[in-house]
Each structure stands twice: as C-alpha cells, then as structure tokens.
Amino acid sequence: MLRYKGIGATKRIAIGRVFRVPGTGVLHREDAADEILFSAEKEIEKLTNALEKSRQQIRDILQKIRNANPNDKSIDIIATQLDYFDDPSFNDDAVVLITSQRLGAAEAVRRQTRELCDTFNSFEDDPYMRERAADITDAGERIFNNISGFCADIPRTLPPDTVVVAHDLVPSQTAQLDLDHVLGFVTEAGGLTSHTAIMAHSMNIAAVVGCQDLLDKACDGDSIIVDAGKGLVVLRPDEVNLRTYEKLQAKDKVVWKSYDQVKYRRILRSGGGEILVAANIGSSREAELAKEQGANGVGLFRTEFLFLSRNEMPGEDEQYEAYRAVAKVFGDAPVTIRTLDIGGDKELPYLKIPREENPFLGMRAIRLCLHYPDIFKTQLRAILRAAVHGNLQIMFPLICRMEELKEARTLLQECMAALEEDGIPYKKDIAVGMMIETPATAILAREFAKEVDFFSIGTNDLTQYTLVVDRGNPLLSGLYDTMNPAVLRLIKFTIEAAHEVNITCCVCGEFAADPQALPLLVEYGLDEFSVGIDTIAETKAGLLGLVGLSAE
C-alpha cells in the first residue's frame, strides 16, 4: 500500500481501478535537425504537413464528441486548437526559427509552444491563467508528434469504475476517454484550474492533481482510492483502508445529493432580501457550466485570457463576441466583467512593459489600462456593446486613488459618446463598480461608495497587502490568514460603507467559499458570494445551514 499527497481539485471520494495514460514529455526534449542533411524547405514542408494533419485530427475528434454528446464541455476547449494551428504569428515565427537558426520543424514547434506557455505561467498570482498553458501544450504536442511520428492516441473504451492516472491530461486526451466509466482523475501535474480539474467539476467526480511520482508506481488494474477532499491517493489499499473508505464514500454520496437539491434555489434573509451565490469564470464555456451548477450570476469574469497567446491585442469585435456569449448564457442575471488585470510580471508581446523590481506594486491592472487608454477604450466599447444582450456590469480592478476611478469613468463616458455618434447600440445605464483590494481603498470606502454602483472585495489581494505576505510563498503560508482581525475589520467596514449609500457588496476571493467565513460574512451583511464553479452548490448548502436564512 502506497500513499500520495496532492491537491484536491474536487471534494469527492472514488474507489476504483487504475488506467494509466503515460505522458510523452516531447515538449521538454530538444529535437535538433541533422546539420549535414538539413534543408529548410523540407523542414517547412514537415511543419505544413503536420499542421494540416493536426487540423484533421482535431476535426475528427470534435465530430466524434458532437455525435456522442453535442453539449459536451470539451468541444469549446478543443476547438480553440484550430485557431492555434491557423495562427499566422505562430506559423511565421516557427518558419523564421527554421530558416534563421537552422532548427528542425519539431524543435521550432517545441520552442514556440514553450514561449507561449511561459507567457501564461508568468501569471504568478493567478493560477487560472497559469493553467491555460495546458491548452497550448496540448496543441503544440500534437503538432510535435505529427512531425516526429509519435502516436499518443489512447483507447476510447474503458472498463467500469476506472480512475485515470496520468502525468497530465490535456483536452484532446479526455475527449477520447469513455467518461461514463470514469470515477476520478489523478495527475502528477496541474492545479486547481487545470483542464483536468474543470472536467472533474463538470462530471462531479473525484480529482487530485499535483500528485508527484505516482505514474511510475501505478499499474493498470491496481486498486486505488482517491480522497479528493484531503488531496490523498491510496494505491493498492489494504482491507482496512478499503472498508473505511467504502463507508466514507457512502456518506459522500448522501452529502452531494443534498447539494444537488439546493443548487438551483434562491437564498433569502428572514428580514427580506436575497443573497446571491455567483461564479468566478474566464470564458463562455465556464459560464454555461456555472449556470448548470446553480450560479445566480457571475461575480467575476476574468478577461485576461483573451489577451494572451497572441502577438497583438484582441480587436473590439472579438471581445464583443466573447462578452456577448456570457451575457446570453445568464440573461437577466448580473454578469460582472473585470477589466484587464495584468501587470509588469505578466509579459504580453505587444506591450513593452519595463521589468519592475516589485511588479505587484507596479504597473498593473487599472494603472496599466490608464497608461494605455486605446487598449482600455477598446475593451470598454466591447463591453458596452455586449451589455445590450444581457445584464453586464463593468468592474475596475486595483483602484487605489479617487483620481484613478474618475479617469476610468471619464474614458467610459468618452466611449459612450463615440458609440452614440456612430449609431452603435450600447447599454447607457450600465452598472459600474470597483474592487476593494488594498487597505487604502478599504479605509476610504465611504468616499468611493458615493462614486460607484457596487463594490467587490478581492480578499486574496486585500489579505496579501494588509498583512504584507506573499500569498504564493509556501514559507509564509502560515502568515497568510484572511481571518486575521485586521483583514476582517476592513471587510466589515467596506460592507457597511456600501450599505450606507445603498449599493451592494460582493466578495470574489477564495474567502467567499470558506465555510468558516460564511457566518461572519452573512453577519456583516454581504450581498453576494462569488465562488469557484465547483463550490456553488456547497456554498448555498452552507448558507442554508445558518440561522436567519432560507431557500426558495
């Protein structure tokens, strides 16, 4: 019997049999061209043929998925690879590497893919953005394999009660699995927002990621226990552990059945008023998943993904379509779009942001948007236009000074005036809010509340800046505590300031889903909890367990 510790991506329990999906690791292996026989023309031809073969493979996979389930959540993820294969900047840059550096086609693809992955991984304070590198890896690895002749296909049919064990799972791999027979996923790589985690949330099954060194020890058919709530994996469990977990699994099923019974219900205060449980998302695909899980709206729509893995800023129409898609999913329910939140530690090829000694205190979020008003105004115009199709709201991140808020609102008014002049429909009365992420902003909450329609407290950054603790530093993890009295006082003060002028207040950090925090936040009068997709139903169930709240 072997025990492994990882990161629980869901909170389910699974008892099953191992099915191994070995990783190729090809993107981490250099593939130099033969200097003597090197021909740029032949290498470019290899690249062209591999791209076309990759396109056809993805089309075939998509067709199989649509035939089996037209509403499968993998469709949108995998379809984005076609854009990657057709991206002129990727293709042209790969050709340049072949011709100028005499690289083989496979190595050129590897380097281009790693460069894009590094861009996503540079988002040190945003695990969601870092995990998007997996999508890029999937596409790049497919091209690489088609150049080198490596076959990474896996069988579609799996036996019942399967637990998939892999180094990592990419979208095209899970698309080939018989998911009806899968009880759980365990991967050596990945994080809480990886494709594996998203798939596990969608299927409501057990998943543990970051479980290192498991693949070498596990064999197909081995018995395995996945306790995702504890991030624990037990390989080849003994009889005692097996019986213990069979009892825990039975209780687990009862708990999750109770969550299913409340996820679509509204949470009401006994004295009147509704508490919203909204979702944190990053795409229209996740919007659909959030609605299926019972979200009352979107409290945080991250827009950064639109701006990455490319060599130029997304145009107004492209952004408009992305925002409109989310608006249409939720209809009249509120969808809060956070404007671009990147900074000096996150490089975009088309923005020449100087390297900074301390990027978390530097040119980021609203500061960067105000420094590049053309980029900011393009996004604002797209949001204003898309808001006609639903109930979109605009939220400015990391506002620290009143002057920043006023300048942002001035640019918004300029966008409205330009759309009016051009005769383009837009939402004239769109709600405008701001995030409370620093002690300075929280202390001045009464003044800011008079200038906006809502507040949203980003408890992750608020805790970090209040306690002067890097939340990504494992050596300081014991110091990072949102339950610290100083942080709680700022949260309470912010909510009270909002209610004094009759505007709403939301919490969109991880704290909103913390069971220990729920009674405090309800006591403070919080109007909206915006949480991860997998914790929507659990948060509603937790709220309904508190005195003074009921469901409708």
- Catalogue the active-site residues: 195, 508
Vertex 210: Cα angle to 209 and 212 (nearest 5):
125
SS3 assignment, position 201? helix
Contact 82, 143 (CB under 8 A): no
CB atoms within 10 A of CB 552: 7
Own/partner long-range contacts of 465-473 (Cβ < 8 Å, ≥24 apart): 465/437, 465/438, 465/439, 466/439, 466/490, 471/125, 472/124, 472/125
Could you please report the per-residue DSSP string of 365-395?
HHHHHHHSHHHHHHHHHHHHHHGGGSEEEEE
**CB neighbour list of residue 28: distance below 8 Å, 6 or more residues apart:** none
Could you please report the per-residue DSSP string of 48-97?
HHHHHHHHHHHHHHHHHHHHH-TT-THHHHHHHHHHHHH-HHHHHHHHHH
Instruction: Give me the half-sphere count of Cα atoms (radius 13 Å) on the Cβ side of residue 109.
Output: 32
Contact 549, 275 (CB under 8 A): yes
**CB neighbour list of residue 100: distance below 8 Å, 6 or more residues apart:** none
Which pair of structure tokens corresponds to residue 111? 């380097």
Q: CA torsion 324→127→536→488, rounded to 10°? A: -110
CA distance 263 to 472: 32
- Report in angstroms the alpha-carbon separations of 216 from 22, 153, 166, 260, 448: 9, 20, 10, 37, 56
**CB neighbour list of residue 7: distance below 8 Å, 6 or more residues apart:** 191, 192, 208, 209, 210, 211, 231
Could you please report the per-residue DSSP string of 118-131?
HHHHT-TT-HHHHH
Q: Any idea which residue has 């979208």 for tokens?
A: 171
**CB neighbour list of residue 476: distance below 8 Å, 6 or more residues apart:** 469, 470
Q: Which residues of 147-165 are buried (b: 16+ CB within 10 A; e: fewer)?
A: bbeeebebeeebeeebbbb
CA distance 479 to 463: 10
Burial (0-12, 13-18, 19+ Cβ within 10 Å), 499: middle
Which pair of structure tokens corresponds to residue 403? 């002057």
